[in-house]
Chains A and B, each alone.
Chain A
Amino acid sequence: MVTALVGPLAVETGSTGTAQPGPELTATLAPMYVNPGGQVTVTAVQGCPQPMQVFWSLGPGALSGAAATGPDGRWVVRFPAPAGLGVVPFFAHCAFSQGAAAAAMYKQINFTVVAPVRPRFTG
């Protein structure tokens, strides 16, 4: 179901790494390359430990948001890609409210924003 939802460019995050608190959870993000303003979809592969909220951001001072999880703790968030080109990190964690202690962390996923034009460089 996840594969069908996010398409062939999806990259699943790994499940290993340092974890605080608990093991890092995984999600998929698609597309990995997107134009400024293009829609990005992130889908939980492993849900939060229980129904709660997922808080996500693209880094300090960048776009952020929150979404309620489903009864099984899973979630999907969609957002427009930022205007700045290059690699953008996606962070997320589970919590009961804004500012509350994280019940679980998601492994960071990077995606890349590319300009929506054909190159006409000097070749």
Chain B
Amino acid sequence: MRYLRYVWFLLLLGALVGVGTVVLAMREDEPEPWSGSWVATARGVEVGVYPSPGAVEPSVRLKSPTASGAALVFLVEGRSVSGEWLPVHLPIRPNGSSGWVRRADVRLAANDYRITVDLHDRKLTFSQFGDVRWTTPIGVGTEAMPTPPGRYYVKELLMPGKEDALYGPFALGLSGFSDSPGAADFKGGEGVLAIHGTDDPDSIGEQVSHGCIRVPNDVISYLAATVPMGTPVEIE
């Protein structure tokens, strides 16, 4: 009789372990939510941006290529691209502008990269597949010309020449702008924010820029060779 008790106990223990294994296996099989984003690139020479899905008249028409010669790209808001309309972030003032574009007017591509900028700690974090790959110290805007926080995206890639050495070997233009006096028209430009290299390595880690984000030159070279246009850049 005592022997039978042991048998029942072992059977019960075996059943519990089996059930636990199955439950754990099921949890491991659950798909993780996708951590990437969608990039929409203009198909034609112009893309109408509408205030709401189904609107008749666009609120603005954006040209492609842009003034810099780059194909017009948008960062799609959210992760769903079903339906005829897409909510997108816009590369225009004011910062944070958004609208809707017709899906037929753009080509979609998935993107697994993300860049986050911590203004307080002055560091940039590079992520892929939702996992942090590395961080690097950065230079940010001064108190008079601060780097404006917000959700932006990479809209263009430039390769500065020797006459523009302050930008280092590459510059990634962002969808956001600085409105600070002295920054909004720096070098005759429109105050476009960027992540770029530098000819002054000692400025990395400091509050030194007109709003742009300075990274070491090996870092900007890596980013230029890696991130697609449309990569999200969150500055906080």
Contacts and interface: CB of A to CB of B under 8 A. Distances in A.
Interface string B142-165: 000100000000001111110110
Interface string A71-101: 0000000000011111100000000000000
Interface string A98-123: 00000000000010111111111111
A35 B69 contact: yes
A123 B226 contact: no
B37 to A, nearest CB: 15
A56 interface: no
Interface in A33-87: 33, 35-36, 61, 82-87
B178 A122 contact: yes
Label chain A's interface by main secondary structure: loop
A67 to B, nearest CB: 26
Contact of B225 (A87, A117, A119, A122): A87
B69 A121 contact: no
A36 to B, nearest CB: 6
Nearest to B171: A119
B68 A115 contact: yes
Given A83-B71, A86-B228, A121 B167 contact: yes
A82 to B, nearest CB: 8
A85 B186 contact: no
Contact of A110 (B196, B225, B227): B225
Interface residues of B, number: 47
B159 A85 contact: no
Interface string B76-88: 0000000000000
B187 interface: yes
B192 A86 contact: no
B70 A115 contact: yes
A83 B70 CA distance: 7
A36 B188 contact: no
B189 A122 contact: yes
B211 interface: yes
A119 B188 CA distance: 10
Nearest to A87: B225
B180 to A, nearest CB: 8
B183 interface: yes
A120 B229 contact: no
Nearest to B174: A121
B157 to A, nearest CB: 4
Contacts of A121: 167, 171, 173, 186-187, 189, 192-194, 196, 212
Closest 5 A/B residue pairs (Cβ): A120-B189, A121-B194, A122-B211, A122-B210, A115-B68
12 contacts: A36-B69, A61-B107, A85-B70, A85-B156, A86-B157, A112-B157, A116-B68, A119-B160, A119-B194, A121-B167, A121-B173, A123-B167
Given A120-B188, A120-B192, A121-B194, 10 more contacts: A36-B71, A85-B157, A110-B225, A114-B157, A114-B158, A115-B173, A116-B68, A117-B68, A121-B173, A123-B212
